[in-house]
Amino acid sequence: MLNIVIFGAPGSGKGTQSERIVAKYGINHISTGDVLRAEIKAGTELGVTAKGYIDQGQLLPDELIIDILANTLDSFKESKGVIFDGFPRTIAQAEALKKMLAERGQEVSIMLDLDVPEDELMTRLIKRGLESGRADDNEETIKKRLVVYHSQTAPLIEWYKNDGKYQHIHGSGTMEGIFAEIAEAIDKI
Ligand code: AP5
Ligand code: MG
């Protein structure tokens, strides 16, 4: 089983590179952000709750996200592996993931940290906001998402270093060049 955590700030390319990883390695992909946006679109109760947090650039409560993750993981029983995109985002979520995988006789294989300078993150997300209209891709909300990333999510870098799973990836440059670095790291596992 190949269990990959793809990690990085908002706009670092987690979704973009996940697509390439799925195509090459044939594993399942779960993006908690995509799950929540689908719930918002469908107008579910969870979607209504999620919208309140996402529009403010804040994280949803850990318990809610961990439940979503556990349900999705159960639906992937026959899979060759999973790429976790946008999860974990807090230490509590990382601990929950470790426990969930251990209960299934598995572990995280590698954590890929897409490292991108802050001005480039902002440029990418403003551009996407204009093109695709994602509700949280406006300057004010992007700034809040970056603050949340630094305070609540970035501490996971040390957490995964201590867990022996951390891999730095240069997240700026061409999408193909970045993917080549990712594939090299995965192939070494
Ligand atoms: P989520 O959907 O996970 O958003 P995010 O982390 O802010 O990241 P993005 O999806 O915006 O960026 P990405 O890293 O996937 O980059 P992408 O490939 O799209 O979460 C949204 C919200 O949901 C959160 O704020 C929170 O409220 C909630 N949530 C989600 N998970 C949660 C959790 N676990 N706990 C609590 N709450 C949670 O690329 C970005 C842009 O850049 C694209 O336009 C792309 O084309 C472009 N691009 C990519 N690579 C390159 C490159 N190399 N060069 C130039 N442009 C590039
Ligand atoms: Mg994404």
Best of 5, 16, 58 for a ligand 1 pocket test (most atoms within 8 Å of beta carbon): 16
Q: Is 51 in the pocket of ligand 1 (CB under 6 A)?
A: no
Can 128 be counted among the known catalytic residues?
yes
> What confidence tens digit (pLDDT) does each residue in 2-41 have?
999 999 999 999 999 999 999 999 999 999 999 999 999 9
pLDDT digits (tens, 9 = 90+) for 46-61: 999 999 999 999 999 9
Asked if 5 contacts 182 with a C-beta cutoff of 8 angstroms, the reply is no
pLDDT of residue 7: 99
**143-153, pLDDT tens digit by residue?**
999 999 999 99
Amino acid at the residue 97? L
pLDDT confidence of residue 78: 84
CA distance 29 to 96: 18
Q: Ligand 1: does its nearest atom lie under 6 Å from the Cβ of 73?
A: no
The per-residue pLDDT for 60 is 98
Query: How far is it, in rounded angstroms, from Cα 154 to Cα 78?
Result: 32
What is the whole-number distance in angstroms between the Cα of residue 12 and the centre of ligand 1?
7
What is the pLDDT averaged over residues 79-84? 95
Domains of the chain: 2-187 (3.40.50.300)
Q: Note the ligand closest to the C-alpha atom of 9.
A: 1
Share of the chain above pLDDT 90, in %: 95
Strand order in the sheet with 28-31: 28-31, 81-85, 2-8, 110-115, 166-170
46 Cβ inside 6 Å of ligand 1: no
Task: Give the atom of ligand 1 at the shortest distance from the alpha carbon of 124.
Answer: 42
pLDDT of residue 92: 98
Q: Residue 104: enclosing H or E segment and its boundaries?
A: none
pLDDT, tens only, 104-130 = 999 999 999 999 999 999 999 999 999
140 Cα–ligand 2 center, Å: 18
Residue 137 alpha carbon, nearest atom of ligand 1: 11
Instruction: Give residue 77's pLDDT band: very low, low, confident or very high (50, 70, 90).
Output: confident
Of the pLDDT bands very low, low, confident and very high (cuts 50, 70, 90), residue 132 is: confident
- Alpha carbon 121 to its chain's center: 15
What's the pLDDT score for residue 138? 95
Give the pLDDT score at 133.
80
- Give residue 86's pLDDT: 98
